[in-house]
Chain A
Amino acid sequence: MKRKSLKLALLGTTLMATSALAEDVTLTIESWRNDDLTLWQEKIIPAFEAANPGIKVNFTPSAPAEYNAVLNAKLEAGSAGDLITCRPFDTSLLLFENGNLADLSDLGAMDNFSDVAKSAWQNDDGSATFCVPMASVIHGFIYNKDAFAELGVDVPTTEDEFFAALEKFKEDGTYIPMAMGTNDQWEAATMGYQNIGPNYWKGEEGRLALISGEQSLTDPQWVAPYETIARWKDYLGDGFEAQTYPDSQNIFTLGRAAIYPAGSWEISGFNAQADFEMGAFKPPVRNAGDECYISDHTDIAMGLNAASENAEAARTFLDWMGTSEFATIYANALPGFFSLSSHDIAMEDPLAQEFVSWRNDCGSTIRSTYQILSRGTPNLENETWNAAAQVVKGAESPADAGARLQEGLASWYAPHQ
């Protein structure tokens, strides 16, 4: 009874809202990116509407932390928007399996994306793709150019040079060599382990071998990155154990630290905060001349609500999202979120250019724990946060951490049993 009247009321408001533009189809987008509201309203939507008369688009984001819950509730009640912003991997896969997201494999725009780009929004055998990839974030290191010039330190390309540079900053004492803390745990795992790791496990090769069970987390290529981040300990600031992620950001942008292990999403924030010149370098390789690999992590995509009544118009929009026009607007408005499409896009931000240029010389991969491996209990991603933080603090040895993670993974994941 209560529910019925609520539905009627909702229906009433929808009717009133739509009757005004009876001829136009209105698409509603669900998203967690409320930071991007103005970008959508002022740039993306006008560009689309100009090219596609008769379709109106509404961008209705909710808070990032609430997004999954809000979306699920809306989908259940049948009031969710036509287009749904997709989180990578299992969260979206679950929606697809429950029939909430439509299969988009036959969408023309899909040809503009590589298999790695699509992997985050496919079912396990890759037979169906259900979201159009939008953007990825790339890991690397951002450095303070002024500090490097002041001490005459060259940008490191190998690990030895990297530690030599850290040592030099430490001896000098003006700058904290590296801005990272372990309080929030994910920093050590994401900015540390997943940042430098691909060079050790050879990107996709190692990641896929881990999923298939051919490699294990106790293998040297999976333990060695822990040994390296354990050496970072001596170069972090005082009290790094209680240093949080915003602390690290502030230390670096205030010019107190020389190197910041980064994700490219920091670029726009750092551009606004820092008043010194910044540069970026990719994760140093272990020996000069080694093949390099980067974490080019698929982060955000757009899918179609299977219950949408405007599926035709929504598909038009999704097709448009695969064009270079969309990619150019998006990548330039949000430097650090790189388009996943194979179009060649001109970007203006020098830091963003630096990051994206690595795609040309290095193999791209995604974070090792994201696909399939974090499905069970214990959760490998959360365990990796914990292990990385413990290793950086020196509270656990790299070998022990590897053994513990492997034991946890093997306890539920058949290919490792």
Chain B
Amino acid sequence: MNRPRFRWHIVVFLAPAVLVYTAVMIFPLFNTLRLALYTEIDQSRVFVGLQNFQTLFFDPIWSEQFWNALGNNFWFFLIHMLVQNPIGIALAALLSHPRLRFSALYRSAIFIPTILSFVIVGFAWKLILSPIWGIAPSMLDAVGLKSLFAPWLGKEEYALTTLALISVWQFVGIPMMLIYAALLTIPEEILEAGEIDGITGASAFWKIKLPLILPSIGIISILTFVGNFNAFDLIYAAQGALAGPDFSTDILGTFMYRTFFGFQLQLGDPHMGSAIAGAMFAIILVGVCIYLFGIQTRMRRYQM
């Protein structure tokens, strides 16, 4: 009998990627989850099972902050879904219009904020919206709408929405590019066939293009979801780790940072911090699973 030879080259070629990915992604992930099951008593690490999670969800001191952060996170995500993605799709539809001039210029201009650092974006917008030095109050003044201006980032009611819109401004280029690419792959023949049947202009977009780019919209939604629930930088850069005013802009990322690393006199608690990170991971995992098994498998795909 001749047993098939073990194909070593597969292992060899896979090894670098697997090793690197394990070292920098898989190991830290599981180590964080493991850390969440411990606590520190008298300077030694003690295994406490799920007690940290119990504290997080049921101790009013922690749970109030957690639900507040989670609620804010959903609002942050909702704004992105309702504003960023429709605008991104609309921009892509406009850009893919064959008779549009300077489309490359528009495309780059809209995409550029995406490559800026969060710190720059946060700082620039803080200055733009500043009631003291900002250009927003004087611009509104110039058109006679000064009364509409408020110190948005300092008001509990508006701060989170304002930050979400800043983030939308920064990242609207990503859905635009992805949809744009998807629109370009739609063959001319299909559109021409539609034209012969009398479907032109806007109805061509709604009836032909939109169904064809639905899978891309699904991908964008899930990217937005993961990105938003991992968000941290913009809030931290603009409002600091206490996510003021009165925690109205606190999202899971800032909550986790404050707990894990500590803040000012608050000493860091890596174990509770890991518990929050674990909860974030679970939320994102559930969201992604709902998408993968509930939505993506039912989505109709068309051979083009």
Residues of chain A having any CB pair with chain B under 8 Å = 69, 89-91, 94, 97-98, 181-186, 237-244, 247, 250-251, 369-370, 374-375, 377-382, 385-386, 389-390, 393, 395, 408, 411
Contact = CB atoms under 8 A, between A and B. Distances in A.
Contacts of A185: 240, 242, 244-245
Contacts of B43: 97-98
Interface of B: 43, 61-62, 126, 129-133, 137, 150-156, 239-240, 242, 244-247, 261, 263-267, 269
A238 B245 contact: no
A239 B154 contact: yes
Output the residue of B129, B239, B265 with the most chain A CB within 10 A.
Answer: B265
A379 B245 contact: no
B135 to A, nearest CB: 14
Given A247-B133, A251-B132, A411-B61, 9 more contacts: A89-B265, A182-B154, A182-B245, A185-B244, A238-B131, A244-B126, A386-B247, A395-B156, A408-B61
Contacts of B150: 239
A390 B130 CA distance: 19
Contacts of A242: 129-131, 151-155
Contacts of A239: 130-132, 137, 150-151, 154
25 contacts: A89-B265, A90-B267, A94-B267, A97-B43, A183-B239, A185-B240, A185-B242, A237-B131, A238-B131, A239-B130, A240-B131, A240-B151, A242-B152, A244-B126, A377-B266, A377-B269, A379-B263, A379-B265, A382-B242, A382-B264, A382-B266, A386-B242, A389-B244, A395-B245, A408-B61
A242 B248 CA distance: 13
Contacts of A250: 132-133
Nearest to A243: B132
Given A241-B245, A251-B132, A395-B156, A90 B151 contact: no
Q: Which 8 A-B pairs have the closest CB atoms?
A: A239-B131, A241-B154, A242-B154, A242-B151, A239-B151, A374-B265, A379-B266, A381-B265
A91 B266 CA distance: 9
Contacts of A369: 265
Nearest to B162: A242
Output the residue of A182, A237, A408 with the most chain B CB within 10 A.
Answer: A182
A241 B132 CA distance: 11
B263 A382 contact: yes
Contacts of B129: 242
A408 B264 CA distance: 18
Contacts of B131: 237-240, 242-243
A186 B150 CA distance: 22
B245 A381 contact: no
B244 A183 contact: yes
B266 A389 contact: no
A292 B215 CA distance: 71
A247 B154 CA distance: 13
B147 to A, nearest CB: 13
Contact of A389 (B62, B152, B155, B245): B245
A239 B245 CA distance: 13
Contacts of A181: 154
Contact of A370 (B130, B246, B265): B265
Nearest to B153: A242
B94 to A, nearest CB: 34
A84 to B, nearest CB: 17
A378 B247 contact: no
Output the residue of A250, A377, A378, A411 with the most chain B CB within 10 A.
Answer: A377
Contacts of B133: 247, 250
Contacts of B247: 386
Nearest to A373: B265
Contact of B242 (A251, A377, A385, A411): A385
Given A238-B131, A389-B246, A378 B264 contact: no
B153 A183 contact: yes
Contacts of B155: 241-242
B288 to A, nearest CB: 31
A390 B263 CA distance: 19
Output the residue of A237, A241, A375 with the most chain B CB within 10 A.
Answer: A241
Contacts of B246: 386, 389-390, 395
A247 B130 contact: yes
A385 B240 CA distance: 13
Given A184-B240, A378-B61, A393 B245 contact: yes
A374 B262 CA distance: 12
A98 B43 CA distance: 8
A333 to B, nearest CB: 27
Contacts of A183: 153-154, 239, 244-245
Contacts of B62: 377
A392 to B, nearest CB: 11
Contact of B264 (A251, A375, A381, A411): A381
B52 to A, nearest CB: 12
